[in-house]
Structure formats: structure tokens, C-alpha cells
Amino acid sequence: MSSKAGSASKVKLNTFDDLFGGAENTAGEQIIHAKLADLHTFKGHPFRVLDDEKMEETTESIGKYGVLVPGIVRPRAGGGYEMIAGHRRKRGSERAGLDTMPVIVRDYTDDEATIIMVDSNIQREDILPSEKARAYSEVYSGVYGRASINFYAFNSNGNKGIACGLNNLQKLRDGEPLGGRSRAEDDFADGDGDDEDFLS
């Protein structure tokens, strides 16, 4: 019978400073206690911040222990900071009567900030499907890519059709977000009608 002794020694635990950086940070990040009035909502933030039972628990915890995990912000051109992650902690801090909260200041591009914002919120349990869809569209909208698609004609038991298989996807470059809505009728409109059905 094999012993599993020593398997725990392979597990590496990270400290808070390892994860979020300590007082000295070589990456140019800094943890500051920012005034709540200087923290502005991320533009296009698709997630709700509700004053519900969970927010009440968050407020009580912040009132008792403070904000344990700093929010993530980036500098704003007009002054102050733009919240990327930590909107609920900010609201809980406001409700607990605090004036400041700890935040990590990072210099993200719009694309990087959007991905971090979506990633930090998407695992929450109380997110509506519509919020998830909007968040994912923020991340995946405006990308040019290449797709490898296979089409197979089939004739089985009198049924004719085309099967389609999606193989590889490759991101080529970023582009402008899609912006408007698209309809299947526009995207897959019939051509001039001269095409022959290759299955006949």
C-alpha cells in the first residue's frame, strides 16, 4: 500500500503580498487608500450592485474587519480612478461609513481593463444570464479572426443535408466593437438566386 506522505509538501501557498504585491512592488503597482469619492464606475460596467442581503453581509464585514481584498483601479484622465474590480466592496465601504478603501493601481488599456472586469465578476452566483451575455459581448466584440470550418454533404436514409464542423479559431487582431445589432436575415441573405443546389 503506497503512502501519500509528503504530497502536501508539493503544494505552494501564496501570501497576500505575493498575490497583490507588498509595500515595495517591482511592477510599478501601488496599493493606496483611495477616497471613495475619487473612485468612478467602469464605463459600460454590465453588472448590478444591489443593496440586497449579500450587500448587507458585505457591509457588516467591512464595518467589522475593513476591506480585506483591495479593489483594482486605473488612473482616470479627468482625475481620480476608474474601478475595474471591487464595485461591491466600494458600495459596502460607502454603506459602512468609510471614506477610503484600499485599491491596487494598475495602468490597463481599455481591452485589458474590460477583460479583468469581466473575469473578476463572472464567477459570482447572483449574476443574471443577461448580464453574463452582455459581459461576454464586451470581451469578444471587435475581434478579427480566422476559423477553420468543414462542411460535409450527407445522404442518409433519404435525408439530405449539410453538416458543419468548427475546427480551429485564431485571433488575428483587434478591431472596433461591433456596436449595432445584426440580423440573421442580413448576414445570411440569399444571393442572386442563380446558385445551384449542389446536393441535387
pLDDT at 134: 59
What average pLDDT does range 106-119 have in this prediction?
78
Examine the domain organization and report whether 67 and 147 are in the same domain.
Answer: no
Please report whether residue 196 resides in a domain.
Answer: no
Please report whether residue 189 resides in a domain.
Answer: no
Handedness of CA 31, 36, 42, 45 (dihedral sign): positive
Please report whether residue 14 resides in a domain.
Answer: no
pLDDT band per the 50, 70, 90 thresholds, residue 102: very high
Last residue of a domain, one of 127, 158, 190: 127
Last residue of a domain, one of 86, 103, 127: 127
Strand order in the sheet with 39-40: 30-35, 100-105, 71-75, 81-85, 39-40
Q: Which domain holds residue 71?
A: 28-127
Mean predicted lDDT score pLDDT of the chain? 72
Examine the domain organization and report whether 46 and 96 are in the same domain.
Answer: yes
pLDDT at 182: 46
Examine the domain organization and report whether 47 and 122 are in the same domain.
Answer: yes
Examine the domain organization and report whether 38 and 118 are in the same domain.
Answer: yes
Please report whether residue 45 resides in a domain.
Answer: yes
71 within 8 A of 58, measured Cβ to Cβ: no
Examine the domain organization and report whether 49 and 104 are in the same domain.
Answer: yes
Please report whether residue 55 resides in a domain.
Answer: yes
Burial class (CB within 10 angstroms; exposed 0-12, middle 13-18, buried 19+) of 89: buried
For residue 170, pLDDT beyond 60: yes
Examine the domain organization and report whether 80 and 157 are in the same domain.
Answer: no
The domain spanning residue 108 has which CATH number?
3.90.1530.30
Please report whether residue 185 resides in a domain.
Answer: no
State which H helix or E strand residue 91 sits in: helix 87-95
Examine the domain organization and report whether 121 and 32 are in the same domain.
Answer: yes
More confident residue, 104 or 172: 104
Give how many domains the chain has, as a whole number.
2
Residues 40-85 have pLDDT tens digits of 888 766 566 666 788 888 889 999 999 988 999 999 988 999 988 8
Examine the domain organization and report whether 68 and 152 are in the same domain.
Answer: no
% residues pLDDT > 90 (the chain): 16
Examine the domain organization and report whether 148 and 123 are in the same domain.
Answer: no
Examine the domain organization and report whether 174 and 121 are in the same domain.
Answer: no
Span of 137-146, 153-162, 179-188 with lowest mean pLDDT: 179-188
Examine the domain organization and report whether 117 and 47 are in the same domain.
Answer: yes
More confident residue, 109 or 100: 100
Cell reading at 121: 465578476
Examine the domain organization and report whether 113 and 154 are in the same domain.
Answer: no
Rounded CA-CA distance 23/30 in Å is 8
Please report whether residue 8 resides in a domain.
Answer: no
Rounded CA-CA distance 29/11 in Å is 27
Please report whether residue 194 resides in a domain.
Answer: no
For residue 113, pLDDT beyond 60: yes
